[in-house]
Structure 1
Amino acid sequence: MSGRLALLCPGQGGQHAAMFDFARQHATARAALSRWDLPAACGHAGASLDDVLRDPQALFDNRSAQALVVASTLATWIALKDALPTPAAVVGYSVGELSAWAVAGGLDADEAISLARRRAALMSDCADGGPVQALAAVSGLPGELLDGVLAQTGFSLAIETPASVIVGGLQRQLPALREVVERQAGKLTVLPVNVASHTPLMQPAQAPFHAMLGSLLRDAGIPVIAGVDAERLTSADAGANALSRQLAEPIRFKDCLDAVAESGVTAAFELGPASALSRMLRQAHPHIACRSVCDFRTVDGAIQWMGRALE
């Protein structure tokens, strides 16, 4: 294989009841899923994983969803990694950046899942007991207008993607945000989330999460593209700083995709369970062959496609 591979590790939003079906085809991945005891990690000790996946509350609640997404990504990587070349870069979206460090060798899988659970708890603690928080997607506004909108409404930039941005703030300010966005001919979509991730409202979570990372994170063997500034990182110290910063600072995912392209990557896999990141990469850099594992019915089918893409 002469091509260069990148891996995309998703964040929350694409969970579904069949999100582990791809990985379960592979014996080693099945064994890992059993060993990780995900129901207990999600606060549902004694339940089966399928019971958790059939429960919409458990599937999408922040305190359990982050661990499920990281586990799905890492189980998928276990099913694929022996048949693929070493990636040239790994990038993660939001909590997917934890998955990226595990894929790159900076964390064991069980460590990453535990950190995802604890990260979610710290972030939820920032939202509980105070004014209700919110996230919303905004599209159709140029950057100079968006800055003014945010200044007027008290919202903060949370995530920047090629097609839109996500902003976070207090739910009570959503009517004002909608009015200003629509007055500027933009579009606002409120997301079903009550944790304003990647905004200053999460600052109380940064120091304790950095301390958790400091005792676990190791140097990575593969560059991880940091969400906050799109830098290629391998050192544990730099990784701990980036992972804790991104709790309360915006994710520059458009820049991250540009960094993937600048790495000379010719093909990329999104490690499921949905396909939002692979669509973004194809739209931003159509010369890169990119698909999600959820496009494939079997592990062998995914491996065969990637083999052709890397020729």
Structure 2
Amino acid sequence: MPRARGNDALMAGRLAILCPGQGAQHPAMFDMARLDPAASRLLEEWSADPALGATLHAGLGEERFTNRIAQPAIVAATLAMWHALQATIATPALVAGYSIGELSAYGVAGALAPADVVKLAIERARLMDACVTDGAEQGMVALSGMPSGSVDALLAGAGFYPAIVTGDDALVAGGPAAQRDALASAAITAGGHATVLPVAVASHTPLLADAVAPFAALLAEAHWRAPAFPVLSGISAESVFDARKALAELPRQIAEPIRWRECMDAITEAGVTVALELGPGAALSKMLQSRNPNIACRSVTEFRTLDGIRAWLQRQLD
């Protein structure tokens, strides 16, 4: 039988939960969570909510990659999966979220009610989209394998900013969409790799500075509780144990770079031996596995059933 949460202090110090950002959403991303009756009821409640239902339904269709739909849909999928698992797996040592996943992480840790987190994701996306008001479209490019010392000049030449540092020679950059193909070409010419991402806002860059204060105000109005376990801050890679620090740092990550490389190192330093990514997608578990092969990393998307996830976790944590 699956081991209940909190029954083993040693186990509780070894598991990390990873909450994904945008990019891997798909029409079936709620299906596995629906296999659990409680998670299925939660999704039905959200679907019946006028503030949530239409957005989540759109998240399964062609609009799922637009910022205003992607953010709440990914948060909902993440939290529904957590709702399906949380009562039957070990208490995590910590939870870390990538970009919008950091907001999901506070829902996983119980600091905010799940429905409130999804509604905040809707508002976060709205505020970010409002920063693109002059017709100058924004975009993001993932760079990797870059020669030492080459990145800063390439970004400056294209008007781009570091957005998410994902490795020693890898990062995601954000800037004007008109320059993203030129940046990608320049990176390849310099000897690196480049991928233009399906994102229409330059998240985690100064181009979104106008969204920070209004989102901070919305977070301050929300009902916060102490997290059941620490949440890693994306901009500092430090553990957050209370609402005060969350309210100070969570809004800022909209317009400041995410230090995901340091977050992965913090997971290692916390003594984590097992990491489960809640999905959709498996990018975070693959990045962490690559950076620290000693941590057993999987995504829920790699399993066919909830029982398969539980059995794998129990084997790894015993």
Q: Normalising to structure 1: TM-score of the pair? A: 0.93
Q: For residues 42 and 195 of structure 1, do their structure 2 counterparts lie closer, same or farther at Cα, with a shift above 3 Å needed?
A: farther
Task: Work out whether 1:23 is the aligned partner of 2:46.
Answer: no
- Return the letter of the residue paired with 1:214: A
Aligned partners of 1:139 and 1:186 also within 8 Å = yes
CA drift at 1:43: 7.3
The Cα shift of 1:12 comes to: 1.0
- What CA distance in whole angstroms lies between the structure 2 residues aligned with 1:212 and 1:53? 23
Aligned to 1:33, which of 43, 48, 63?
A: 43
Deviation at 1:128, TM superposition (A): 3.5
Displacement of 1:197 after TM fit?
0.6
Are 1:252 and 2:262 matched, yes or no?
Answer: no
Amino acid at match of 1:14: A
Q: Give the counterpart of 2:88 among 83, 86, 97.
A: 83
Partner of 1:153: 158
Counterpart selection for 1:7 from 10, 13, 17: 17
d(CA) in 2 for partners of 1:263, 1:54: 36
Give the deviation of 1:235 after TM superposition.
1.5
- Conserved? CA contact 1:97–1:226, under 8 Å: yes
Cα deviations across residues 57-111 of structure 1 (Å, max 9, x unaligned)? 2x11111111111111111011111111211010000010011011111100011
Shift in CA distance, 165/40, structure 1 to aligned 2, threshold 3 Å: farther
Q: In the alignment, is residue 291 of structure 1 matched against residue 298 of structure 2?
A: yes
Q: CA deviation at 1:209?
A: 0.3
Structure 1 pair 202–56 and aligned structure 2 pair: CA distance change class (3 A): same
Question: Structure 2, unaligned stretches of length 5 or more?
Answer: 1-7
Once the two structures are TM-superposed, the CA of residue 123 in structure 1 deviates from its matched residue by 0.5
Q: Does 1:167 align with 2:173?
A: yes
| Equivalent residues of 2:23, 2:198 under 8 A apart | no
Quote the residue 1:108 is aligned against.
Answer: 113
What letter corresponds to residue 254 of structure 2 in structure 1?
Answer: L
Residue number in structure 2 paired with 1:239: 246
Alpha-carbon distance between aligned partners in 1 of 2:60 and 2:215, rounded to the nearest angstrom: 30
Which residue, 196, 202, 205 being the options, matches 1:199?
205
- Matched with 2:3 is none
> Aligned residue for 1:129?
134
State how far apart, in whole Å, the 2-side matches of 1:55 and 1:33 are. Answer: 17
Which digits, 9 at most, give the CA deviation of each residue in 1:145-200, with x for residues without a partner? 11122222221001111262111111222354245323322222211221111110
**Comparing 272-281 with 174-183, which one deviates more in the overlay?**
174-183
Aligned alpha-carbon RMSD (Å): 1.8
Please state how far the C-alpha of 1:40 moved relative to its aligned partner. Answer: 4.3
> 2: distance between equivalents of 1:119 and 1:237?
19
Give the alignment of 1:35-74 within 5 angstroms: 35-37=45-47, 40-41=50-51, 44=54, 52-57=58-63, 59-74=64-79
Partner amino acid, structure 2, of 1:193 = V
- Asked if the contact 1:227–1:251 (Cα under 8 Å) also holds between the matched residues in 2, the reply is yes
What number of residue pairs does the alignment pair up? 306
Pair 1:269-2:268 in alignment: no
Q: Is the 8 A contact 2:105 2:231 kept in 1?
A: yes
What SS class does the counterpart of residue 29 from structure 2 fall into?
Answer: coil
Counterparts in 2 of 1:27 and 1:56: CA distance versus 1, 3 Å = same
Partners in 2 of 1:240 and 1:151 — Cα distance?
Answer: 31
Q: Distance in 1 between matches of 2:53 and 2:255?
A: 25
Q: How far 1:241 sits from its partner (Å)?
A: 1.7
For residue 144 of structure 1, give the secondary structure of its aligned residue in structure 2: coil
TM-score by length of 2: 0.91
C-alpha distance 53-97 of structure 1, shift in aligned 2 (>3 A): closer
SS in 1 for 2:237: coil
Amino acid paired to 1:25 = L
CA distance in 1, matches of 2:197, 2:48: 26
Report SS of the residue matched to 1:18. coil
Counterpart code for 1:96:
G
Contact 1:42/1:63 (CA < 8 Å) preserved in 2? no
Identity, % of aligned pairs? 47
